[in-house]
Every structure is written in structure tokens, then in C-alpha cells.
Amino acid sequence: MKTKDDVGIKGYAGYVPKYRIKPEEIGDCWGEDGKTMGRGLRVESKSVPSPDEDVVTISTQAAKWAMKRAGIKGEDLEAIYVGSESHPYAVKPTATIVAASIAASPHMTAADYEFACKAGTAAFQTCMGLVSSGMIENGMAIGADTSQGAPGDALEYTAAAGGAAYVIGSEDLLAKIKETVSYTTDTPDFWRREGEKYPQHGGRFTGKPAYFKHVTNCTKKLLERTGNEPDEYDYAVFHQPNGKFPVKAAKKLGFSKDQLEPGLLVTHIGNTYSGSVPLGLAATLDQAEPGDKIMVTSYGSGAGSDSFDIEVTENITDVKEKDVPTIEEVTSNEEFVPYSVYAKYRDKIEGGR
Amino acid sequence: MAIARFWREIKQRYKGIGVKCGNCGEIFFPPRDICPECRRESYKKMDEYELNGTGEVITYTRVEDPHPEFEDLCPYVMAIVEMDEGVRLTGHIVDVDYDDIEAGLEVEASMRKLGEDGPEGMIYYGYKFWPIDSRRGE
Ligand SMILES: [Zn+2]
């Protein structure tokens, strides 16, 4: 996809609920060795939303902070897209509630996106297109989820909650998005039928033909298009369904573990689905310096990947001085809960669907 | 809760929008049509005013025998918070240990779910408060 020279990120922020649960707590409940399970998935804990948190509340908090960093008001936003697979309503947009809560309504366009874990980056691309074409000045792209695995399912060890919001525009950019490419196929690796509580997945079918195929092909296309080599990037962010997949994909493509490190949040907060890449990128931007280059590739089951070639500008220094918490600060406020509390919270979330 | 009433109050519930008397400058939340001091002088001068969302705890209490809607949150903390603008609001304090709350604690409003009309009904959102330091790594 062609992008103009002057489109990118003006502000960003992420939010992750405070509660955490460890794999051993989940394993104990099902007579499984949770510790070993967690070690295999490279996940030490995952975030758990409070019963009064959902995709609307997570998105709203991230959006408020992102606007503060961008130095804009709600009325400056002409588009809001929220990507999630756990929108609180089946019919009634999350985006309208978020827009009202940040005073962006009514002179704006809004919609919810769904594409498993890559709905957030799909929102990025839409905002980029609207900004590049001159249709809007500023748009907001959000990726957030409060995802669920069926009780006893392997997904329960990783399915977590969190999200991040980005103000996309063409002026005062803290990072330019210089190129984006996508790789999309019809792949039945993971799905949830309308009205069903929990997703189904294709077991072993989720790895090679799904995550790795899409992530590597999409990233390779981006590298080909930009003429960049993996080692020209300071950082890389890949979708993180667990702690193993992104490391393996990075290695295969020629990226190092050091490049991944700042954005690899899955170990402590789990898989935040649509929030995964947006939060990983936010944590990376928190550490970035002017001139740094960041490679980003998302993945959503069903299936597709979006890759982005990002270059940080000198504005990143000013943005960091605004009174908005970094991802490290947000996630360091944690409280571990036992399975009983987790189950109570989780049931409530199911009720909300 | 009646859907129409909730919808009319969205601005104050989501954004903390009150009114400021154009005559004496006093801020009111929830919004009112007339300033009790200025009365007729304030007629049609009560302009929308957005609270900045921060304030401090005046008093608080732990609720152990909750409204059925809040059972999953039990026990939870309700407090009277004096906002920077001087108005006092009642609201939940979230994401904090009861023992860490005290009068004078600085808090910030954040949007949360307030309740819902069962699994099929509407979901109600609005402000609750959390300690201002809680998301800043302190
Ligand atoms: Zn008055």
C-alpha cells in the first residue's frame, strides 16, 4: 500500500487492568501442571479485568491519555475505529461510547472493527488512508480486548485484557509510518460462532500455516518494499499470542531478541489479542529515541498480518514530558488474584457478552 | 435505570460535565438550571463546564452488603470526593486496598461499568475514582 510521506503517530497510550493470575493457579483448578504449561508458553502471568472493566473502559482510558500526549481535544478527531474481538455489545458500536466519553462526537465518523487479534492494526491502516487522502486531519485507532478461553482450554493460560490508542495524523508526528503492507488469506485456525461464548481453534493448525506463514510473508514483503534489512531496525514488534511464537518468528526472519525485548509484554500480561501489537509498539515507543526505526507485524486469525515501517522523529522527546504513564508504569501496578476471584470476575465478563 | 434518563445524563456521567454560573462563577455538578445564589441573574447564563477529573477523598466507607448489581465487586469502597473545582461527588474508589485509602488521598476519575440491565439489557458506564498515583508506577 502506498503511503504519503507525512502520515504517522501524533500520540499514543496504553492501559492494562491491574489484576494478574499465574498459570499455576489456573492449572491447579484443572488438575494440570500449570507451571510447566506457563513455562512452555513463556507466560509467567496474565492480566485479568475487574468486573467493571471492558473494551469500552480500556479504550476510553487509553484514548484520553493518547489525546493528552498528542495535545489535541476530542473535537479535533474526525474518525474513531475500535478493533476488538470482545466488543461489549454484539450490536451497538464500542466506538460511539468511546467517542462520547472523550467528547469527540458528533462531527466525526466511527466504527468497530473485528479481525481476531489484528483488528487494531486494521484501524491504523484505515486512519492512515483517511489522513493520507486528505479526508481527515486526525483519526484515532484503538486495539483492545478482554478475551476469554473456555475453562480448562489451553487458551485460558494466556487470554488477557488490555489495549492501546493511537492518534494518527499528518502534522507534529512523533513517529512517521513510512510503509504498510498486508498479507491476508482464508485460514480456519481460530473462530467463534455468533452467540457462542468461547472460541474454537484448529489445534496444531494454529502455528505453521497460520501465525508463522502470515507473519513471515508479510514482514518479508515489507522488507522487500522498503529495501531494509532486519538489522537496520532498532526495534521489532510481533503479535504475541504467547512468549514463544514472536521470538521464533523474529529469529526466522533475522531479527534479534534484543530488538524484540522492549515490546515483548506477553510474559507478564498475557495475550491481549487486539491490544497485543498496539501495546507492544507503545512500550517500544516509550524507550525510543529520535531517528530510531521500528518494524511492526500484527497477526489475526482467519487470517492476516499487517506490517508497518516506522521511524521515530525528534518530537518523541516532547511527548515523553507530558504527564501520561508509560506502559511500564501502567503494568507495574499489579495485584495477583487466586483462581476463585478470577472465576468470579470472568463469569461476570461472560454475562456481559 | 430508565434508558432515556441515562442517555440525557451521558455528558455528566462520562465526561464530568457540570455548569458554571455566568454571574458569580460558581461551578455546579450535577448541572442545574439556576444558580441558588444569583437566581434570576443567572437565568440562561449557566454554561457547560468540564471538571478536570481530579480531586481528593473527603470521607469514605467500605460497603459489604451491596446493591445486588455490585455483588461481584464486593466489598467495594464509596467515597465523597472534593473535585479541584470545589464540587463534591459521590463515587466508587477502585483498584486500591481499603487500608491504603485515607482522607486527602488524591484521586482521578476514570470510566468504568456502573451496571447493566442483565445480560440482555443496556450497559451503563460512568466515572469511578482511582488513586492518581496508581498508574504512575508509585
Ligand atoms: Zn451564581
**Are A8 and A326 in contact, with CB atoms under 8 Å apart?**
no
Residue A89 has pLDDT above 80, yes or no: yes
pLDDT exceeds 60 at position A87: yes
- Per-residue pLDDT tens digits for B15-26: 889 999 999 999
Segment A149-184, tens digit of pLDDT: 887 788 899 999 999 999 999 999 999 999 999 999
- Residue B104 pLDDT: 97
Are A336 and A288 in contact by the 8 Å Cβ rule? The answer is: no
| pLDDT at B96 exceeding the cut of 80 | yes
Residue tagged active-site, from A25, A239, A268, A311? A239
B135/A325 CB distance under 8 A:
yes
pLDDT at A348: 42
Please report, for residues A91, A251, B8, B88, B127, the alpha-carbon distance to residue B5 in angstroms, rounded to integers and kept in the order given: 21, 56, 5, 22, 17
pLDDT greater than 70 at residue A2: no
The pLDDT value recorded for residue A29 is 85
C-beta of residue B18 within 8 angstroms of C-beta of residue B29 = yes
User: What is the percentage of chain B residues whose pLDDT exceeds 70?
Assistant: 97
A338 residue type, one letter = P
Q: How confident is the model at residue A352 (pLDDT cuts 50, 70, 90)?
A: very low
Cell reading at A324: 501520561
Residues recorded for chain B: 138
The β-bridge partners of A12 are A166
Contact (CB, 8 A) for A75 and A103: yes
Classify the C-alpha dihedral A258-A23-A328-A245 as positive or negative. positive
pLDDT higher than 50, residue A261: yes
Under 8 Å CB pairs connecting chains A and B tally to: 72
Please state which of the ranges A24-38, A45-59, A86-100, A192-206 shows the lowest mean pLDDT: A192-206
Please identify which of the residues A25, A53, A87, A117 carries the catalytic annotation.
A117
Is residue B102's pLDDT more than 80? Answer: yes
Contacts of B123 in chain A (CB under 8 A): 54, 56, 88-89, 352
> In the prediction, which pLDDT does A351 show?
39
Query: Is there a catalytic annotation at residue A239?
Result: yes
A98 Ramachandran zone, left/alpha/beta (phi>0; psi -120 to 50) = alpha
Of B15, B94, B135, the CB nearest to A52: B94
Go through the domains of chain A in sequence order and give each one's CATH number: 4-174+325-345 (3.40.47.10), 176-316 (3.40.47.10)
| Other residues' Cβ atoms within 10 Å of the Cβ of residue A112 | 21
Residue B119 to residue A353, Cβ atoms within 8 A = yes
Q: Is ipTM beyond 0.90? A: yes
Contact A77, A103 (CB under 8 A): no
> Which position has the grid cell 460497603?
B63
Give the separation between CA A328 and CA A340, rounded to whole angstroms: 27
Q: Which amino acid is at B58?
A: I
Centre of ligand 1 to C-alpha B52, Å, is 20
- Domain chopping of chain B, boundaries: 17-50, 54-136
Predicted local confidence at residue A4, as pLDDT: 62
Is the pLDDT reported for residue A255 higher than 60?
yes
Identify the DSSP state of B115: E
What mean pLDDT, rounded, does chain B reach? 90
Q: Contact at 8 Å (CB) between A293 and A284?
A: no
Q: Among A286-300, A333-347, B63-77, name the one with the lowest average pLDDT.
A: B63-77
Query: Do the Cβ atoms of B83 and B55 come closer than 8 Å?
Result: yes
C-alpha cell at A256: 534479534
Residue A353 scores a pLDDT above 60: no
- The pTM assigned to this predicted structure is 0.95
**CA gap B138, B135 in Å, rounded:** 7
Where in chain A does DSSP place strands (E)? 8-15, 19-21, 46-48, 79-83, 109-113, 139-146, 161-169, 175-184, 190-191, 200-201, 235-238, 293-297, 304-312, 335-336
Rounded to 5°, the CA angle A8-A272-A258 comes to 65
Banded pLDDT at A3 (limits 50, 70, 90):
low
Query: pLDDT above 70 covers what percent of chain A?
Result: 96
A96 lies within 8 A of chain B by CB:
no
Q: Which residues of B touch A14 (CB under 8 A)?
A: none
Could you tell me the pLDDT band of residue B5, with boundaries at 50, 70 and 90?
confident
A79-83 β-sheet, strand order: A109-113, A79-83, A139-146, A161-169, A8-15, A175-184, A304-312, A293-297, A235-238
Q: What pLDDT sits at residue A304? A: 96
Contact status, residue B46 vs residue B54, Cβ threshold 8 Å: no
Helix (H, G, I), strand (E, B) or coil at B132: coil
Which residues does residue A81 pair with via DSSP β-bridges, in sequence order? A111, A141
Predicted local confidence at residue A154, as pLDDT: 83
Of B11, B50, B125, the CB nearest to A57: B125
d(CA A343, CA A346): 5
Percent of chain A with pLDDT over 90: 81
**Nine cell digits for residue A107:** 462531527
